[in-house]
Every structure is written in C-alpha cells, then in structure tokens.
Structure 1
Amino acid sequence: MSKFRHSLLYSVASVAIAFFVFWFGCSSKPTGLDKYVAQNRKVEVVKQKDGRFILYRNGKPYFIKGAAGYDHYNRIAAYGGNSVRVWHTDDAKRILDEAHKNGLTVTLGLWMQREREGFNYYDKDLVAQQREELKQIVLKYKDHPALLMWGVGNELYAEGSNVKVWDAINGIAEMIHEVDPDHPTTTTVMNVPKKIVNLIAERCPALDVLSINSFAGLHNLHDELAKTDWEGPYVVSEFGGRGYWESYLTWWDAPIEQTSSEKAEFTRKFYNEIILKDTAQCLGSYVFMWGKKQETTPTWFSMMDGNGDETEMVHVMQELWSGKKPLNQAPYIAYVKLNHQYAFDQIYLRPEQTYLGAAYTFDPEQDSLQLHWEVLPEIKSEDGNVGNEVTPDPLPELLSNIKDEKLILKTPKKEGAYRLYLYVRDGNKNLATANVPFYVMNY
C-alpha cells in the first residue's frame, strides 16, 4: 500500500471516528446536571451560570405559586396564584381545561400502583403494563396548554423498601422524555429521607425535579437536603399546618389539631423563612389543601368547607402570592375548652354526664359571628389508607343549651374517643375552625 493511500485511509478513518463520537455524544441522554442545559422547550429547568436553577415556561422564568386540590381554581388565579397540583388523572381533562380557563398551569400526577394494594414491582410484565397505560395518558394530555410538569408517583416509598420502585419510576420518566420532551418530570417524597433521596439520585437520572411534601418538617428542609446526593432543583409540593403524624398526642393517641388561625401563621412562617429563602434550588410550592378533605378530621387540611367558605390560610396565601390582604378577614378562635380543660390537659369524661363547653372568638371587622358546634366520634384508618376515610355522622343529641360561645355536652353511653368541633362564620364567606379531643370512660 502506498504512503498516499495509507494516509488517505487514516484520514477518512479519523474523520469517521470523530463524527461517530460527536454524533453519539449529541444523541445520548444527558446525565447528572447536564440535563439542565437550555434547549428551548415549552417548559424546562435551566441551571444558571451562578448555580441557580430556574423553571422556564415559554421562554420566561416561572416561579410556582400554587395550591394542591381539585376545585375553586378561579380563586387561585384571583388571589395571585399561578398553578395547581393533582396526584391522579381521574378527572384530568376538566382539571386542565379549568386551569387553562383561569390562566393556571398544572402539575399532573400519574398515579402509580402501590405494593400494599397488591402490585409487585419485581414483576416485569406488570411494570411494563403500567408504563404503557401511563404512556397513553401522557400522549393524550402532553399538548394541553395548561400542562406544566408530570408527577410520577406519589410517596411510593412509604409502601415498602423495594428499590425496584425507583427503577419503575425512572422507566416512566424516560418514556415521558421520549414522547413529550417539552415537560419536566418529578416524583414526590414525604420530607427528605436521606436513604430514599439518595436512591432517587442514583436510580432515577431521568427525573428533572424532586417534589417534597413537608409540613412541620419544613423547618430543617435546607439542612436535610444538603446531606443527600440530590443536587438538582425541587418543589415543595405540599405544605401547610402541622401534620397529624407530627402533632402532640393525647394519652389515647389522638393528635391535637391546630386552630385554623394557628395553621395560617404556621404556613406564613414557613413560606417566608424556608420556601422563599432558597433561591438556588427551590422552584416554588403548592399549599395543601385547596378545598375540603377528610383526613383524620374533616378540618385538618381543609382550607375551605363544603360551601367554599374560606379559612385564614386562604387569606394568608392571597397575601403571600399577591401582596394584598383580603378586604374582609376570617374570624379567629382563641381557644376551645371542655370541662374547663384544654386539649393538652388530656380530657377524660364519664359516660352519660353533662359538661360545659366554651370558646373565645372574635372578628377583625367586628362582624356578627355565627357559631356551630358538633361532636364526632374519632376515626382511624385501620388499613392506613387515609384516602378512603369518610367523615362520621355528627351526634347532635349530645349538645344542648347552646348560647354562642357556651353549651352543655352530655357524653354518650358508649366509651371511646370523640371530638368537640367549633365552626365560626362571619356572614362574608369566611370561616374559623377548632376542635378538642376527649375520651369517654368509666374511671
């Protein structure tokens, strides 16, 4: 072979190898923090030169000021919010359409089956079937103008220690990026469990954002996240008052609920001191829950009642989102007592006896207040599935001599745990709530 031919073949081979390396490098999936390079997508997370992460929507920075829930979207928009979060797609078209109508975006949750419900993440066929079912949902809604982000699963780690769960989540996130490159992917954890977050960082490279549900746990969110391997951005996907699992308990294990006003100040504090303070990794938040929800009690997470009357938490979020206070503020409950005792006093009462209930309430505008009292038996989800809880029927026959802030309660014959609830309304669609747990027994 002549030197010329040898040199020519060498040059061609070199060019081919260089082209192959260039082509492979461009077409391979980005790993680590490389995926946060701007690519001019509809929605994308971009890492800035100074290390900050910013969510962009249609080329403009987009900080999430959102609420988790399925109703009252017009109020989110009117109060200065811009997004909603839901954790399943059962009513996806209505949710997306309603959000779009009100100028809001949606983090749309893709519900993944849980192991306690019989799903086996070691079964490759089942995992593939679930991925294909979710793919059809993604294809159906990926072009909706209200879509912001895909939520892949919700607190799945709580169902077991099977690491195959994370492989399944990553597989779904990869599928989403293939069929819908215009919207980021996320998954949700409760607080920041180091072991779980490290598994996500290791086994779920296709996830763009970490979503964190955290209530009282928000106080050390920044420190706990810094101890993990997660280096990307996050969203506080649920926050609000203290959760029932992190509250003080009575001696019979009933969690003591904050008043609606205490929840409001709790929410304000953490929004200002935790969520807004992190300008490097936090992309925004979703307050929980925008509407009414039965979970442990009918009031624990409910920012509104069934009629849409608003608690002080709604007004706090309006002020935080828009900088404007409501024209008429919610009433306030300073305390509720039963038998001259507060909830922390461990209230034990004898069956079929009468006791005095009392409260102190006021209204910032001195509106005339309407007080409604009721007693409900305590409930607890035996299977741990709080999503299936149903509010028990009230026991009106136990209450008498109701005179606004005072009443007489006659305890039931049946021993067990109960709560005395107080609802205070001001006639302007505003509401305050409080309750006190008590236990009936012969002693």
Structure 2
Amino acid sequence: MQRIIYSVLILCLSFGGNAKASNHKIEPTQAIKVELKKTATGYELLRGGKPYYVKGAGGTSYYYKVAQYGGNSVRTWSTNDAKNILDSAQKNGLTVMMGLPVTPERHGFDYNDSVAVKKQFDRVKAEVLKYKDHPALLCWGIGNELNLSYKNPKVWDAVNDIAQMIHEVDPNHLATTVLAGINKKEIEHIKAKTPAIDLLSINTYGGLAELPAKVKAAGWAGAYLVTEWGPTGHWEGLQTDWNAPVEETSSEKAAVYKSRYHYGVERDKANCLGSYVFLWGQKQERTPTWYGLFTAKGQESEVIDAMQYLWTGTFPKNKAPHVYGFVLNKQQAQHSIYLQPNSSYEAEVMAMHPNGDTLNYRWELLPEATKVGEGGDHEDKPEALKLAYTDLGKGKIKIVSPAKTGAYRLFIYVQDGKNKVATANIPFFVK
C-alpha cells in the first residue's frame, strides 16, 4: 500500500528529540558502505563491515523514540525533506531507507512515454547525487508498490535503469524496489527485467506470517526486506453489511504484531534482512487510528509496547492501557449494528491498566469516511460530529444516535494521563 507520509507530520517532535540521543558524539561525515553478503545459509547485510539487521519503523516523526525503544532504522516513501530526515536519523543513531519518487501507473504515469520516463530518471538521479554521501543512508527504495493496479511491465525496465544508475554513481548503497505483496508473476518480471536490484522489498499486512512461504513459492531465492507490516489491512478483514471495514482494537493489534513478527520476519533470518513497522506516526486511512502507532496527539498505543519488546526483549515500565471489550447496544463491532435515529443507546468499553493507573475516557463520533484513497493515498479525516451522551461511569455512556441516516463510527480513547492510550471503534448505521 503506498503510504504517502507528509514530512510535516509532527516533524518538530522527531527533530526535537535529537539532543536526547546525540550526547555530543562525533558524527561521521561521509558515506558508510553498505553491502549484501552471501553466507552459507542465506544473506547478511553489512554496514561499515559489520552485520546489520534492520529493526525499522516507517514514518517521518518521533525518531528519538525509535532509538529509545530499540529500533535502528527508518523508512521514507520519498525524498521530501530528505536532508532534515537524514540529519535527524544520524543524530539519533539511526539509518534511513530513502524512498525515491517513482510514479506508479495508477497515478496516471505512462511507461510507454519515453520522454516522461527520461524526465523521471533524471529527476531521481539528481536526488541520488544530492544525498548519496550522507552517513545515515542505508539503501535506496525505488518507488513504492509499482505493481499495484498496473498493466504495463515496462515499469520494471525503468526500475532497472534507475538501479543501474545507482550502482554507477553510488557504490556505497544498495538498491531495492518495493512490492505490494508477492506473487509468482511479479517475481518472474522482477527476475527477468530488474537484475540490477540488490534485494527485494515487500509490503504485507494480514499475510505477514505466511510471507516466508510465499516468497519461496513465488520463486524468489534472494535477500529481502519487509518494508511495511502492521495490523490487518482494511481490505482484508471483517466488514459490516454496508461494507465498513472492522478495525482491530489497539490491544488486538499488539497481539497480532507480536505473533506476525515472529512468524513472518524472525523465522526467515536466512534471507529476510529485517523489517520496517508501519506506521511510526499517525495518519487518516479509513480511520484516524487504523495504522498509526501514535494518536494525532502523540499518545502511544500498546503496539509501541509490543515493538519495544520485539526490538529489545523487554517491555516498558509504564505500559499502555489494555482494552478487552467494547460494545454498543450490547453488540460488538463485527455484528453490523443498526440504530434508530435520535434514540438512546448504551456503549461500554472494558479496559484496565497493567500498572494500575487511573483511566480516563475520551469519546468521538465520526461519519464513515467516503472520500478514500487506494494503497495509502492521502485521505482527509471526516469532521467530528457533536456527540450527545451521558457519562454512566467506568467506561460506560448513554449516547443519543445521530438524526441523519447513514454510516458512523464511535471511537473510544482510553488514557492513563502518562501519554499512553488504548483505542477502539465501532461502526454503526442509522436508518
């Protein structure tokens, strides 16, 4: 899924954390060589001659927290604000998989247009020349999900030309391209048309646990990175009768992140060189809570706790609240809840805090998002509606349903007052 992450996304917080991690260390000022080494059992990534396993996060914010929680790398989807991103990563002891802006066919690019392809090539080359010697650079990601909804295999010729160019002008870094999922047809195109790439990168969500088997079945025997992974995608989980996707709670997400990482990333250390969790930040995609590990206010969900555990083997002292139930009119999210207009119903979230902290509750009502993108394209968050409710205490409220027919979602943010939060939502339909 193409993740268009804006550099302005709370960047002040990411760069504001630089001083916490720099400690006045003398930073390197030239490129650090990155290599791919064939081993007796598979592949190994070397950086500065030393083994380097990627424990990464995709996003442009909170870089100091990536380092604080045990990560070592970040991923971008373009070169927007690249200098600041590279400098921030370096000061926090992180590397960067830098995305190169190669336009997918589904955005209207014609790969039969040789003039347009050449202009794109020249633009990308200029970006490579501009940033190739930065010491935080790890590798180049040529485009993102160029195989999503495409028909013209000439896109792979363009990718190969860019990869060859990278090897000519930048001998210190690897070149890869990022696929949406993996299948035999695409791998045959990749092997035939893009021999210049050093390794493959794959975005996958609900299917992460099966990825090592899928990679082998598709015929890829080389090295690869998992460049996006996270919750069950909105296109692959449960849906209501009116086709509203059902989102996992933050606690359910924490469980699936831990399980899928073990089976889909750690299980194939022979060929899988690491991964980038999605999204180290916040964005609107179907909902404002689906993919972000943080809220728009910068609060950290239970998934952050899970990532610290996966990266370091230990949980934080202060954990996030845990949601173990959420009902509206005594029904769960997957039950296709229909409500009468302008009527009273009870909603209740069952939650606890592992450290025994006092919890407080913030409720929000949104209309269902209708102006949605494909593959992570930009979406605007629907404007919140006024929610009329009576607080019944301990996570229970009585709401008055909207008067207008249509699809809505009731959101709950369970907060501990220490910047930790649990999130959940229930889609419902008024008719």
TM-score clears 0.5: yes
- For 2:53, the equivalent position in structure 1 comes to 63
Give aligned-pair identity as a percent.
47
One-letter amino acid of the counterpart of residue 177, structure 1: H
Q: Are the counterparts in 2 of residues 41 and 181 from structure 1 also a CA contact under 8 Å?
A: no
One-letter amino acid of the counterpart of residue 42, structure 1: K
| Distance (Å, rounded) in 2 between the aligned partners of 1:386 and 1:271 | 22
Q: Are the counterparts in 2 of residues 42 and 182 from structure 1 also a CA contact under 8 Å?
A: yes
- For 2:87, the equivalent position in structure 1 comes to 97
- What's the TM-score once normalised by structure 1's chain length? 0.88
Q: How do 1:17-416 residues align onto structure 2 when only pairs under 5 Å count? A: 42-48=33-39, 50-381=40-371, 384=374, 386-401=376-391, 403-416=393-406
Deviations 1:128-147 (A, max 9, x none): 11000000000000000000
Three-state SS of the structure 2 residue aligned to 1:376 is strand
| Distance (Å, rounded) in 2 between the aligned partners of 1:163 and 1:141 | 29
Instruction: Report how many aligned residue pairs link the two structures.
Output: 401
Q: Which runs of 5+ in 1 are unaligned?
A: 1-39
Indicate how the Cα distance of structure 1 residues 407 and 82 shifts in structure 2: closer, same or farther if over 3 A, else same.
Answer: same
Deviations 1:207-247 (A, max 9, x none): 11111111111121122111223221000111111111111
Deviations 1:302-341 (A, max 9, x none): 1011232111111111111112210111001111111111
Indicate how the Cα distance of structure 1 residues 295 and 411 shifts in structure 2: closer, same or farther if over 3 A, else same.
Answer: same
| Distance (Å, rounded) in 1 between the aligned partners of 2:105 and 2:209 | 31
| Distance (Å, rounded) in 1 between the aligned partners of 2:103 and 2:409 | 34
- Bigger radius of gyration: 1
| Distance (Å, rounded) in 2 between the aligned partners of 1:397 and 1:251 | 24
Q: Which runs of 5+ in 2 are unaligned?
A: 1-30
One-letter amino acid of the counterpart of residue 44, structure 1: E
Q: CA deviation at 1:404?
A: 4.3
One-letter amino acid of the counterpart of residue 365, structure 1: N
**Mean CA deviation greater in 111-120 or 306-315:** 111-120
| Distance (Å, rounded) in 2 between the aligned partners of 1:410 and 1:314 | 34
Deviations 1:159-186 (A, max 9, x none): 3111011111111111111111110011
Q: CA deviation at 1:383?
A: 5.4
Indicate how the Cα distance of structure 1 residues 383 and 52 shifts in structure 2: closer, same or farther if over 3 A, else same.
Answer: closer
**Mean CA deviation greater in 272-281 or 291-300:** 272-281
Indicate how the Cα distance of structure 1 residues 386 and 276 shifts in structure 2: closer, same or farther if over 3 A, else same.
Answer: closer
Three-state SS of the structure 1 residue aligned to 2:207 is helix
One-letter amino acid of the counterpart of residue 351, structure 2: T
One-letter amino acid of the counterpart of residue 298, structure 2: G
Aligned-pair RMSD on alpha carbons?
Answer: 1.5
Q: Are the counterparts in 1 of residues 59 and 279 from structure 2 also a CA contact under 8 Å?
A: yes
The list of structure 1 runs, each at least 4 consecutive aligned residues, that deviate by more than 6 angstroms after superposition, is none
- What's the TM-score once normalised by structure 2's chain length? 0.90
Indicate how the Cα distance of structure 1 residues 270 and 85 shifts in structure 2: closer, same or farther if over 3 A, else same.
Answer: same
- For 1:429, the equivalent position in structure 2 comes to 419
Greater relative contact order (Cα < 8 A, sep 6+): 2
Indicate how the Cα distance of structure 1 residues 337 and 164 shifts in structure 2: closer, same or farther if over 3 A, else same.
Answer: same
| Distance (Å, rounded) in 2 between the aligned partners of 1:148 and 1:385 | 25
Three-state SS of the structure 1 residue aligned to 2:98 is strand
Three-state SS of the structure 1 residue aligned to 2:268 is coil
| Distance (Å, rounded) in 1 between the aligned partners of 2:428 and 2:65 | 36
One-letter amino acid of the counterpart of residue 43, structure 1: V
Greater helix percent: which structure? Answer: 1
Q: Are the counterparts in 1 of residues 373 and 379 from structure 2 also a CA contact under 8 Å?
A: no
